[in-house]
Chains A and B, each alone.
Chain A
Amino acid sequence: METLYSVTVGILTACSIFLILRGRSFPVVVGITMLSYAVNLFLFSTGRLTIDGAPILGTSDSYADPLPQALVLTAIVIGFAMTAYSIILAVRTRGEVGTDEVSDSNSEDNR
């Protein structure tokens, strides 16, 4: 299970990084959003994986580590705020600059 989980997180991260390295703002923002999912899964798993152990007192014998869950919750909300800001900034940039490219227009980078 642990192998499956970490491989999944790794692949999710790699796909996000690939998107982050694109030359247009929209895929980059999507990549960052997806990376935040991967990071949340990573952070969450630092409390190790527990099935049927939701940290609600009185529902189980052994509880999952609640602290990473709380951290991830904070991270999700902050991530939401950041995603919202960056996507609208991307719109504004396109409005002002006229293109959504995030690299210098003459170089080979801008694909």
Chain B
Amino acid sequence: MAGTELWLTIVTVTGLITMLVGAYFALLKHDLKGLLAFSTVSHLGLICMLLGIGTQAAVIAAMFHIINHACFKAALFMTAGIIDHESGTRDMRKLQGLMGLMPLTATLAMVVAASMAGIPPFNGFISKELFLDQTAQQHLFGGLSWFIPVLATVGAALSVAYSIRFIHDVFFNGEYKELPKKPHDPPRMMSAPVALLALLCIVIGLAPMPIVSEILNSAVTAVTHSQTEVKLSLWHGFNIPLLMSAIAVVAGILIYIARDQLFTFNRQFDGQDAKHNFERLVQKASDASSRLFDKLDTGSLQRYMAFVLISVIVILLPSLIDISAITGSSPQQSIDTVSMVGAIVLIGAAFGTATLHRNRFVMLMMLSVVGLMVSLAFAHFSAPDLAMTQLVVEVVSIILMILALFFMPQKTNRASSGHRVFRDIIIASFIGGIVATLNFAILTTPAESISDFFIANAKTGGGGTNVVNVILVDFRGFDTLGEITVLAIAAAGIHKLLNKLKPFMPSSDVDGRPWHRIKHPLMLTNVANLVLPMAMVVAAYIFLRGHNLPGGGFIAGLIAASAMILQYVANGVDWVKERFNVNYQSLMSIGVMIAALTGLGSWLFNKPFLTSWFTYLDWPVVGKWEFATALLFDLGVFLTVIGATMMILSNFGKMTTRHRPTHEGN
């Protein structure tokens, strides 16, 4: 990533910020080692910044500064150690006037601190000059690039200030005061390394070339992958960097003199250290976020639903407003009586469902009227398959909901507040309005679609005259495969829900009457036994004719399943289990498998998945009859529907009996 503009900018800015923040904190620290630690951070920021600027000269400056920094910082840390060892404290508020007591240490410290501050003729001066020079030369921020050298000078000034503080606070600043121990210059073994490093600072400062050029050359070559000639010297003449240095020294002295103001200013923030402050800040932010969230996200589904719906309204309204006339160019058909009556009943029942929702049984009855009218609408507008399917699905759904109602409160007692009802009516009307608008706009636009293909090819390509069925099992058989998969997953999921269910089990009905003891009324038993074979024949008939006339696997499956459910109701689980012990889960799985395998069969003929094939065979008795692989596919649908429906209904029905669903299924 290095080498790209962005990278450089990020690194430079990060380095700059680190340098300034580090230097500022270094100045504020009362602990000698604390001062040095933050100063180290600051110098690392400086080096980082140089690497970010990234020119060859900058890299040289960075490498050189690493060496110089190592010299003076190591010496300073050792000095701090000596002072601590000798006097028993590192607190600059307690230390003062040590010059008279430990003159050698003080002299050495002054040399290395001057190097850190970037005072000539020490080595720190050279690398700091190089650094300032680089900041003045970069153009990372176009017309705003000047702020980098300005801030760099500020950093340099701070560095001068804390260097002065290190020396002045400890060794001067008045007479010696009582300390835990009375300090002296340390034994020679302790001051020797400091002296050596201080010497190095002077020597490198005076004669940089012979000492470090070799090391720098190899380091820079490694970093920049190119040969370079390092040129270093103490004196560059009067130039911008020198001016910046001078400003930094003067400003640093002024900052040091005004340091008490700075400490006072800073004292208002603490009592504690920065880390603590930061943690408190984070805690505050976190608490505030929590409160904000509790307000926004109440864990209320109602609110989430409202958000979704309001999003729809907000996002869609502009484009709907842009429609100049929603009436398209197609003429409207005239309204016939059947449609009128149907629509009125449908609307009435819909309102009934919505307004009577607090009596749940009534609500369900209203819903079933809605479903019935929808089914009639399909029948009226030339969709017999849809009408039949809607009808059987409707029956099974309502049965399921009534069963569910057994475990649910039968009534909602509290009413919503008027304000909320009003809001909900507004949202509902908007959504209803949007849907109606879109619907009307589409209905009055002339139709142009790919459907002519299906009508033209249903017989010749798919082998059936019921075009809807041919689309389902052939043209778009993949949808149907997905659909029965959904049904199978739902059945498995419902089984999963039920076998760990601790139902809320009422012992009496809503008015307090206990449930009737008679389990299997005789009348019902007889009817059920009669209905089953009949229903099976009807199912078989509807199934077989599905390819050519309204019908098909789905409807047939639901009819067969309903008849079987009747057996459970009439005769009980034990009776049914004795007679046909089918594992519905396997049946459903095998059903989907048959459908999928039918699709897979076309691979044998090198055709894509679900490619159909049909022929006409002479069957005994019935005569010539079409056989299509689509029929096999539909058989899969049929079995899946029976298996899944039975798995759902029988497991749910069994909740009230001793045959509770188990982990593995039956």
Contact = CB atoms under 8 A, between A and B. Distances in A.
Q: Do chains A and B touch in the complex (CB under 8 A)?
A: yes
Interface of A: 1-30, 33-34, 37-38, 40-42, 44-58, 63-67, 69-74, 76-85, 87-92, 94-96, 98, 100, 102-104, 107-111
Contact of B455 (A15, A45, A55, A81): A55
B436 A107 contact: no
B386 A44 contact: yes
A17 B431 contact: yes
Interface in B187-234: none
Given A2-B332, A65-B447, A76-B389, A109 B357 contact: no
Contacts of A90: 404, 408
A16 B354 CA distance: 7
Contacts of B306: 21
Interface in B324-366: 330, 332-336, 339-340, 343, 346-347, 350-351, 353-354, 357, 360, 363-364
A51 B617 CA distance: 35
A14 B431 contact: yes
A92 B407 CA distance: 9
B383 interface: yes
B480 A54 contact: no
Nearest to B464: A57
Given A5-B443, A17-B428, A103-B303, A88 B370 contact: no
Nearest to A85: B490
Given A21-B306, A45-B439, A72-B386, A84 B400 contact: yes
Contact of B429 (A5, A14, A30): A14
A57 B502 contact: no
Contact of B468 (A3, A23, A50, A66): A66
B412 A27 contact: yes
B503 interface: yes
A103 B300 contact: yes
B433 interface: yes
Contacts of A22: 302, 357, 412, 416
Interface string B12-42: 0000000000000000000000000000000
A19 B415 CA distance: 13
Contact of B343 (A8, A64, A89): A8
What size tier do the contact residues of chain B reach? 35 or more
A103 B298 contact: yes
A109 B332 contact: no
Contact of B487 (A20, A56, A58, A77): A77
A47 B364 CA distance: 30
A81 B489 CA distance: 9
- The 8 A-B residue pairs whose C-beta atoms are closest, nearest first, are A10-B436, A14-B432, A103-B300, A81-B490, A6-B440, A111-B416, A57-B465, A70-B471
Contacts of A20: 305
Of listed A66, A79, A85, residue having the most chain B CB within 10 A: A66
B442 A46 contact: yes
Given A70-B468, A83-B400, 10 more contacts: A2-B444, A12-B370, A21-B424, A22-B412, A27-B357, A44-B381, A49-B381, A67-B450, A73-B472, A91-B407
A40 B397 contact: no
13 contacts: A5-B339, A11-B350, A17-B428, A24-B412, A37-B374, A42-B435, A49-B333, A51-B380, A54-B550, A80-B393, A81-B489, A92-B501, A100-B409
B424 A84 contact: no
B502 to A, nearest CB: 5
A58 to B, nearest CB: 6
A65 B424 contact: no
Contacts of A111: 414-417, 420
B302 A13 contact: no
B497 interface: yes
Contacts of A21: 302, 305-306, 309, 424, 427-428
A63 B360 contact: no
Nearest to B475: A70
